[in-house]
Amino acid sequence: MSNAAPLVECIVNVSEGRDEAILAAFSGAITSVAGCKLLHQDAGAGAHRTVFTFAGTPEAVFKAAYNIYEVAAERIDMRQHTGEHPRIGAVDVCPFVPIRGISMADLVARTQVLGEVLGAELNVPVFLYEESATAPHRKNLAAIRRGEYEGLSDRANHPDWQPDYGPQLNPKFGATVLGARPFLIAWNINLAPEVPVSVAKDLAAKLRGSGRKGVPGLFPGLKAIGWHIPEFGRCQISCNVVDAEATDLAKVYLTAVGLAEAVGAKVTGSELIGLIPEKYLRRAGKSFSFGGEREEELEAAVAVLGLNDLGVFDWRGRVLEGLF
């Protein structure tokens, strides 16, 4: 792929984390498209959710995304789905991120076309969000997903919550949220096995920008919830860093360590979901390295964030720019 070619990333979240055959069908839907590269696949059995990260030319990425929706419409029945992660449909959320050579406005227009096609051809109720949102109250993913799949029928006749494209309801598929947005870091902070989910939820409320009950939290650029993941046998603070420029991962992590210790709990490390631009990982390690060299800062970030907690973490395969 030429360095001058426009580059788009898609980080699609599907409501399947257990069936290897279905996951293989999803990965094949991506890799079968010329000009599109599958960068990372992160499956969670407890969350019953998998995140596929892929990138390429705009045409290739949007073709692969459509293929994902085709597989989901055929292979996933949301009437049978349960999992720890909030979700609204078989393809829960499908964000597109401009990486190089494409404007946000162009990406928004492409998401509108995709949404119209999904509604017309696959009978999928589509909600546009983030930069693609058609109204301010529909910009935030959490607002659209409130009530989750089970609450879709209750909101079907509400004038503020009609899908942008497709039917009001599709019981088998549920609905989907898609749109263009800036880069987001998906990242989980791990708690010791004995820490209860109530503590995880309380810590998440203290950290996230929205806080709780009108009291703001500590990091405006952070969204977070507390949950229990059975396959890890522990709770996590599940984080989305929505303003990566203003939110230092090391500060969030060390603050979580301090807050946990104050209530007699322990943070053991963290887990990065998908990929991360190098500058954000390096920044996390910058204050903990001595020479200021690239590799030293990246290794320091892995150490300070405890990214080896749940398994070996090799930053060389997780830094976005290094895969092109």
Q: Say whether domain 185-323 belongs to CATH 2.60.120.260.
A: no
CATH number for the region 7-180 comes to 3.30.990.10
Among candidate residues 81, 85, 137, 158, the one labeled active-site is 85
| Amino acid letter, 42 | D
Give domain limits for the chain.
7-180, 185-323
User: Tens of pLDDT along 161-190?
Assistant: 999 999 999 999 999 999 999 989 999 999
- What's the CA gap between 2 and 317, in Å, rounded? 21
pTM (predicted TM-score): 0.81
pLDDT in tens, 184-233: 999 999 999 999 999 999 999 999 999 999 899 999 999 999 999 988 99
Active site residue 85: yes
Tell me the percentage of the chain whose pLDDT exceeds 90.
86
